[in-house]
């Protein structure tokens, strides 16, 4: 991007930028903390009568099948738990609790009568309730995408993923909050307000599936269906201490999600957030349908036979520097893995020039997505003008969030990315990284430069989701893995990336790290 008279000069400038960014980062966190730390509210502990909510969806489904648990009791427990925590996290957009209870009683009747082995095969999650981001169409439920102009819109039919989950026996109990038009690192809009991170309610749970992660981390949902175009499954999972899997793009059916018809070539994928890794493969299979086979989800490789690479940080000028505590978490994971391997196979550092342009590459590939943000902004009536919308916002005449206005301005008035450059770099990047990883290699990489940010502070660091977004640009799978807490009690973690269709490899490593590092980081205690 810049041309320097001498390499030396360039190096000095890089170091200067590095320190300037770090200083700015600390200043932002310091000033926001003065406001938000006083407003932190605790999440009530999980009561022993709801202890069942600690279990995985897979274990719950098994209990229902074995008649050790009634679906009605499970649905009631989830509803009661939501009612306890939702006033603090504001995650639920709309609910169907009564209908879900009726459906659960129907399941219990069915189980009492008895199902054939074949019927059980088709319904692996019979009687287990689920929630999903509001952008996923559920017949009769709101479908606003967080737009004020759509606040009365109701979905006329189920999305393909909802149909598949229902066919698998799962019961929708509610939809959850999202950022206006989905593409943002916070979960806020004018229809439903703002969702809080349960670990620190003055911080963002991430976006766009922030409410799903907030519910999961508070024991308030059992299955959490998300979607990810620039980190929307993995980022909230990271900020809330959960696991999240982003399957290889093209494998999950997008019909009925965020206006998609399901045929588009896209870097968008449906995914799940979960407390337990064991849920991620069976749930991904359901939304992938016939394409599940291609993801090798059941591939269970011995850690010793996996080739590990790692990326500590990048020099992307758009993105803050990775904080020491996150680097420490990665180092602990690497050293644990190193103990398992022979020295010859020790994890190797990996880098490619593409990692220095993570945000710009994603920005370029976003122009190939079918969504027209300026049109969506007005509920598909006319193309909005970013500058006019900014003036309206400043004058208090806007029904949109500032981040949507800023995104519109970026799309309309900032220079476009050089397409020949972006396509060439992406191709070289993919060739290099996927050749290296092959069928048995994974890359451990940062999730974000920092832990969950304070509310509104993302506007000052808008590109810090780029470690997630670059994975979308590469169109490969990645799993978000929690790795304990930092000195302030906030979740740490890393991403595990593999070559396309090696989803099972990501999950194998996630399972290993879950066992070694304590798994998901819950936002409250359980009695």
Ligand X SMILES: *[C@@H]1O[C@H](CO)[C@@H](O)[C@H](O)[C@H]1NC(C)=O
Give contact residues for ligand X (rule: CB under 6 A).
Answer: 149-150, 153, 259, 379-380
- To the query of whether residue 6 is one of the catalytic residues in this protein, the response is no
Nearer to ligand X, 139 or 150 (CB): 150
For residue 17 the two structure tokens come to 């930028």
Distance from C-alpha of 313 to C-alpha of 114, rounded to nearest angstrom:
54
Question: Rounded to a whole number, what is the distance in angstroms from the first to the last CA of the chain?
Answer: 55
Instruction: Check if the beta carbon of residue 299 is closer than 8 Å to that of residue 504.
Output: yes
SS (H, E, C) 461-502: CCCCCHHHHHHHHHCCCEEEEEEEECCCCCEEEEEEEECCCC
447 given a catalytic annotation: no
136 backbone dihedrals φ, ψ, rounded to 5°: -95, 115
> According to DSSP H, which parts of 193-275 are helical?
210-217, 234-240
Residue 56 is a catalytic residue: no
Q: How far is the CB of 32 from ligand X (least distance, A)?
A: 35
As a whole number of angstroms, the distance between CA 250 and CA 285 comes to 13
CB of 255 to ligand X, least distance (A): 13
Q: How far is the CB of 523 from ligand X (least distance, A)?
A: 35
Strand partners, 422: none
Give the nearer residue to ligand X in terms of CB position, either 143 or 422: 143
Q: How far is the CB of 153 from ligand X (least distance, A)?
A: 6
Which residues sit opposite 433 in a β-bridge? none
- Candidate list 232, 269, 321, 520, residue with the active-site label: 232
Shortest distance in whole angstroms from residue 517 CB to ligand X: 42
Q: Is 180 helix (H, G, I), strand (E, B) or coil?
A: coil
In angstroms, give the least distance from the CB of 468 to ligand X: 25
- CA nearest to 432, candidates 480, 499, 494, 361: 499
Please return the burial class of 487, using the count of CB atoms within 10 Å of its CB with bins 0-12, 13-18 and 19+.
exposed
Interacting residues of 189 by C-beta distance below 8 A, sequence separation 6+? 144, 146, 147, 148, 177, 178, 179, 180, 401
Which 8-state DSSP code applies to residue 129? E
CB closer to ligand X, 153 vs 298: 153
- Measured CA to CA, the distance from residue 217 to residue 220 in angstroms comes to 8
Q: Which is nearer to ligand X, 151 or 336 (CB)?
A: 151
Q: Where are the beta strands (DSSP E) in 361-465?
A: 441-446
Burial class (CB in 10 A: 0-12, 13-18, 19+), 110: middle
62, with CB counted inside 10 A (0-12, 13-18, 19+), is middle
Residue 498 to residue 514: CA distance in whole angstroms: 18
* Pairing outcome for strands 491-498 and 478-485: antiparallel
Catalytic residue, from 56, 159, 204, 208: name it: 208
Q: Minimal distance in Å, beta carbon 150 to ligand X?
A: 5
Parallel, antiparallel, or unpaired: how do β-strands 348-349 and 441-446 relate?
unpaired
What is the Cα–Cα distance from 465 to 316, expressed in whole angstroms? Answer: 12
**Beta-ladder partners of 244:** 273, 480
Q: Which is nearer to ligand X, 150 or 307 (CB)?
A: 150
Catalytic residue among 63, 123, 133, 166: 133
Comparison of 135 and 314: residue with beta carbon closer to ligand X:
135
For the chain, how big is the Rg over CA atoms in Å?
Answer: 22
CB of 157 to ligand X, least distance (A): 13
Shortest distance, CB of residue 399 to ligand X, whole angstroms? 11
Residues with catalytic roles? 133, 208, 232
């Amino acid at each position: 991007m810049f041309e320097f008279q001498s390499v030396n000069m360039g190096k000095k400038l890089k170091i200067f930028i590095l320190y300037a960014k770090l200083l700015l980062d600390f200043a932002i966190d310091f000033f926001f903390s003065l406001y938000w730390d006083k407003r932190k509210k605790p999440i009530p502990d999980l009561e022993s009568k709801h202890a069942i909510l600690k279990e995985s969806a897979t274990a719950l489904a098994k209990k229902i099948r074995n008649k050790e648990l009634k679906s009605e009791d499970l649905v009631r427990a989830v509803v009661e738990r939501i009612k306890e925590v939702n006033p603090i996290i504001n995650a639920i957009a709309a609910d169907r609790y009564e209908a879900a209870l009726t459906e659960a009683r129907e399941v219990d009747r069915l189980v009492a009568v008895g199902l054939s082995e074949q019927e059980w095969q088709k319904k692996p999650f019979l009687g287990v309730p689920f929630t999903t981001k509001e952008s996923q169409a559920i017949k009769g439920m709101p479908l606003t995408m967080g737009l004020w102009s759509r606040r009365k819109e109701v979905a006329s039919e189920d999305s393909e993923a909802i149909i598949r989950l229902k066919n698998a026996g799962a019961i929708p109990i509610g939809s959850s909050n999202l950022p206006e038009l989905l593409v943002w690192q916070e979960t806020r809009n004018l229809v439903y307000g703002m969702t809080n991170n349960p670990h620190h309610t003055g911080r963002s749970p991430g976006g766009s599936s922030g409410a799903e992660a907030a519910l999961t981390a508070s024991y308030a949902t059992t299955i959490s269906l998300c979607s990810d175009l620039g980190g929307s499954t993995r980022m909230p999972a990271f900020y809330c201490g959960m696991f999240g899997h982003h399957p290889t793009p093209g494998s999950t059916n997008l019909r009925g999600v965020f206006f998609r018809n399901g045929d588009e070539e896209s870097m968008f994928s449906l995914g799940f957030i979960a407390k337990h890794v064991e849920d991620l493969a069976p749930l991904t299979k359901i939304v992938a349908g016939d394409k599940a086979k291609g993801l090798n989800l059941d591939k269970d490789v011995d850690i010793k036979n996996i080739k590990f690479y790692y990326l500590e940080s990048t020099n992307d000028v758009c993105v803050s520097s990775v904080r020491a505590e996150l680097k420490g978490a990665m180092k602990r994971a690497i050293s644990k893995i190193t103990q398992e391997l022979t020295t010859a196979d020790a994890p190797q550092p990996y880098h490619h020039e593409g990692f220095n342009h993570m945000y710009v590459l994603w920005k370029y590939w976003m122009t190939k997505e079918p969504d027209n943000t300026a049109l969506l902004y007005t509920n598909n009536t006319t193309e909005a003008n970013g500058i006019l919308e900014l003036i309206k916002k400043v004058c208090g005449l806007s029904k949109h969030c500032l981040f949507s206005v800023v995104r519109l301005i970026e799309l309309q008035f900032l220079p476009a990315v050089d397409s020949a450059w972006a396509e060439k770099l992406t191709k070289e990047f993919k060739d290099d990284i996927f050749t290296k990883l092959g069928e048995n290699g994974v890359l451990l990489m940062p999730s974000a430069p920092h832990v969950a940010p304070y509310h509104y502070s993302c506007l000052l660091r808008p590109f810090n989701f780029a470690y997630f977004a670059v994975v979308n640009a590469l169109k490969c799978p990645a799993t978000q893995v929690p790795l304990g807490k930092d000195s302030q009690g906030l979740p740490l973690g890393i991403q595990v990336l593999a070559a396309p269709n090696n989803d099972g490899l990501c999950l194998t490593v996630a399972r290993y790290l879950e066992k070694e590092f304590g798994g998901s980081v819950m936002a409250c205690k359980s009695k």
